[in-house]
Chains A and B, each alone.
Chain A
Amino acid sequence: MTEVLTEVLNALLLLFLIVCAIAVAQIRDMLSAVIVFASFGLIMAIVWQQLSSPDVAMVEAALGTGVTTLLLIAAISKTRRAE
């Protein structure tokens, strides 16, 4: 039972990853795209954890979700928000 639930969770996470990846490329508003990219990084961190590499998951959560989002928002605040 637990294995089935884990498989379902993994499938849902991967589906969400694909949806996020497509959405980042499609969204016109820069700030929205950055926020969707942050959620992509968060789900990616959980996927790394499911692949039993907590070290990479920690770096992904800190760098992919935290620092990248902050730097991209800083870049947006220096430029225009719309594409």
Chain B
Amino acid sequence: MEDQIVRITSRLVTPFIQVYGIYVILHGHLSPGGGFSGGAIFGASLVLVALSFNLEVGAKQISHTTASVLESGGALGFVVTGLVGVAVGANFLANRGAGFPLGEAGELFSAGAIFIITAFLGVKVASTIVTLFYNIIEGEEKSGDAH
């Protein structure tokens, strides 16, 4: 599917989608949205590039292996952030009890662990969507090592 109009439009629109996705992830504790919504928006922009150009251009942005590693890393970061609370002596996923700096309510860098967890969740969801796309596209050739 090589089309001039689709390629130029997606090239123009992609930076705005990505900035909006990062905005939604980072403002997850302040406004509607969060890790899941923002990650879905960001992942959709990466899939859009790979689909409107070709797989080589898409793999230059984020390859299948990188997406798989980021996917596992996001989940790992979530769990490690939760375990910080256990290590300090509070509950799993404890926020103030674990000593995360809460900041001032309404500011961007506030809410302690929730901010970190939302960022990891965004990475996880975005790379999951990219991995889903690559699994569909490469399904037949590499059915042996599909994850």
Residues of A within 8 A of B (CB): 54-55, 58-59, 62-63, 66-67, 70-71, 73-75, 77-78
The answer to whether A66 and B40 touch across the interface, beta carbons within 8 angstroms, is yes
What residues on B are CB-neighbors of A77 within 8 Å? 1
The answer to whether A55 and B137 touch across the interface, beta carbons within 8 angstroms, is no
- Bound: A75/B33 CA distance, A: 28
The answer to whether B32 and A71 touch across the interface, beta carbons within 8 angstroms, is no
- Bound: A70/B36 CA distance, A: 18
B92-147 CB contacts (< 8 Å) to partner A? 129, 132-133, 136-137, 139-140
- Bound: A66/B39 CA distance, A: 12
The answer to whether B133 and A70 touch across the interface, beta carbons within 8 angstroms, is yes
The answer to whether A67 and B37 touch across the interface, beta carbons within 8 angstroms, is no
Given contacts A58-B37, A62-B37, A74-B51, contact A67 B129 (CB under 8 A): yes
Size bin of chain B's contact surface: 20 to 34
- Looking at chain B's contact residues, the main secondary structure is helix
- Bound: A63/B133 CA distance, A: 13
The answer to whether A59 and B44 touch across the interface, beta carbons within 8 angstroms, is no
What residues on A are CB-neighbors of B140 within 8 Å? 78
In the assembled complex, B47 has its CB within 8 A of some CB on chain A: yes
The answer to whether A71 and B136 touch across the interface, beta carbons within 8 angstroms, is yes
The answer to whether A58 and B32 touch across the interface, beta carbons within 8 angstroms, is yes
The answer to whether A75 and B37 touch across the interface, beta carbons within 8 angstroms, is no
B33-58 CB contacts (< 8 Å) to partner A? 33-34, 36-37, 40-41, 43-44, 47-48, 51
- Bound: A63/B33 CA distance, A: 13
14 contacting pairs across A/B (C-beta < 8 A): A55-B32, A58-B37, A62-B37, A66-B44, A67-B47, A67-B129, A70-B48, A70-B133, A71-B132, A71-B136, A73-B1, A74-B47, A77-B1, A78-B140
